[in-house]
Structure 1
Amino acid sequence: MFTGLVADLGTVTAVDSTQDGVRLNVKTSLAGELSEGDSVAVNGVCLTATAIADGVFAADVMHESLRRSSLAEIGEGSPVNLELPLRASDRLGGHIVQGHVDGVAVVREVRDDGFARVVSFDVPSELLRYVVEKGSIAVDGVSLTVSAIDETSFSVSLIPETLERTTLGTAEPGRPVNLEVDVLAKYVEKLVAR
């Protein structure tokens, strides 16, 4: 389990694509805290570290993760949001994030609003039904609060700290991002449907 509070902005150093999937190598200051078999969220996708050496960890990305996330489009040199799993003694400062990406949205618009930046995303309807104004959502693994919603999109307002410490600081229209909707909304829907 994660919180959506990005711990480091890593850099993809290698992408090895085969017919079986993709192996990513990521350089990060967090590598020293990882052991083989540990979970790490990469742009919100929970992956398993398979090797660690010289400040770089490797992780395999299976076809299911490639289909549901934007990791299929990641290239060498790409920055990625990284978070290690929540420890029982840690504060839950963001929201409950599983690292199970539900799908991909696309940046629609970016505009400044004082010192903040408002980013709007076009979202598939099957995911938008779980998004509520002032609710929680993870975008590329970043825990955010929805500031506005309409029939096809939602917006978030980003503070300078988020802009500086995450990949969302360079978000531009057309860029795909990973979405994980609030897991509680999915459980409520299932209960109500009974």
Structure 2
Amino acid sequence: MFTGIVQGVAKVATITDRPGLRSFTLDFPPGFCAGLEIGASVSCDGVCLTVTRLTSDTQADFDVMQQSLNLTTLGALAEGSPINVERAAKDGAEIGGHPLSGHIDFKATVAAIRQPENNHVLRIAVPQPWMRYIFAKGYIAINGASLTVAEADRKAGWFEVWLIPETLRMTTFGDKGVGAELNIEIERSTQVFVDTVRDAIDERLGPLLPALEKLLAAQGGSVDELARPVQIPR
């Protein structure tokens, strides 16, 4: 498990391709590998990878299967590419972000960038089926970083996150331009809640569900809105 608090930026030192498998040697920031062992998990741009070899005090090797290369941005990495990295969380560690599994759900694309004073705003285009799990003020993980959704437009298929200077300093987000692909892991409890509510609606309404969906659509709503988690004021 990871916390979504990126601990630094690593760079791809070497890439070795074999049938159905790609091996990466990553060059980590000083101190990152202290106590790191073979078999340990490291979040690499949000993807949970296993250390297969320690080559120096600042380098380690990882193997990535073809399916992971196809489903994530790791397949597009080249030597010298920077990536966000985080060591696996330890028992009792402070969860500064939200719990992450390191299992990517889908890839999204940077649709637009705004830069208000002292801020950096990414608008991210999302495949429509996944928008049902994304809500304003909810959590989401982007390239391994736990972030809060500022705005979301379910019909248009996008959401926005605001990044402060410290986040830009500790991550690769400042280098992402329009069109860049990103790894997305949705917040798991939100997914469970939405799917449970949708299943309950489907089970109870049965044949009436299409009529309800049509009625809600005519009013600018959707069944997904009914399954939206309630934001409780703090």
Give your verdict on TM over 0.5: yes
Other structure's SS at 1:174 match: coil
| Alpha-carbon separation, structure 2, partners of 1:145 and 1:80 | 20
Per-residue CA deviation, residues 30-78 of structure 1 (Å, 9 max, x unaligned), is 1233100000000000000000121111111112211211100011000
Higher relative contact order (CA 8 A, sep 6+): 1
> What are the ranges of 5 or more consecutive residues in structure 2 without an aligned counterpart?
201-234
Note the alpha carbon deviations across 1:73-125, whole angstroms, 9 max, x for none.
Answer: 01100001000111112101001111000010011111111101101111111
Greater mean alpha carbon deviation, residues 44-53 or residues 21-30: 21-30
Partner of 1:63: 66
Structure 2 match to 1:146: 149
- Residue in structure 2 matched with residue 164 of structure 1 by the alignment: 169
* Higher strand fraction (1 or 2): 1
Alpha-carbon distance, 1:19 to partner:
2.1
Mean Cα displacement is larger for which, 183-192 or 112-121? 183-192
SS of the residue corresponding to residue 178 of structure 1 reads: strand
Between the aligned partners of 1:32 and 1:106, the Cα distance in structure 2 is: 34
Please identify, of 181-190 and 160-169, the stretch whose mean Cα deviation from structure 2 is larger. Answer: 181-190
Q: Does 1:189 align with 2:191?
A: no
Q: Answer yes or no: is the 8 Å Cα contact 1:110–1:171 preserved in 2.
A: no
Match of 1:37 in 2: 39
> Quick check: 1:173 aligned with 2:178?
yes
**Residue number in structure 1 paired with 2:13:** 13
TM-score of the pair, normalised by structure 1: 0.96
Gaps of 5+ in 1: none
Question: Number of paired residues?
Answer: 194
2:194, 2:134 → 1: CA distance?
12
Out of 120, 132, 136, the position equivalent to 2:123 is 120
More helix by share: 2
DSSP-derived class of the 2:15 partner: strand
Show CA shifts across 1:134-174 (max 9, x none): 10001000110011111211110000000111011111001
* Among candidates 128, 147, 160, match of residue 155 of structure 1: 160
Shift of 1:129: 1.4
3-state DSSP of counterpart to 1:34: coil
Give me the whole-angstrom Cα distance separating, in 1, the residues matched to 2:187 and 2:35: 28
User: How big is the alpha-carbon RMSD for the aligned residues of Structure 1 and Structure 2?
Assistant: 1.1
State how far apart, in whole Å, the 2-side matches of 1:140 and 1:18 are.
25
Query: What is the SS of the residue equivalent to 1:47?
Result: strand
Match of 2:110 in 1: 107
Letter in 1 for 2:49: L
- Percent of residue pairs identical: 35
Tell me which amino acid in the other structure corresponds to 2:44: V
Distance 1:74 1:127 in 2: 25
Compare 183-192 and 159-168 and name the one that shifted more: 183-192
Q: Report the alpha carbon displacement of residue 126 of structure 1 after superposing the two structures with TM.
A: 2.0
Normalising by structure 2, we get a TM-score of: 0.80
Counterpart in 1 of 2:207? Answer: none
Provide the rounded CA distance (Å) in 2 between the counterparts of 1:96 and 1:125.
24
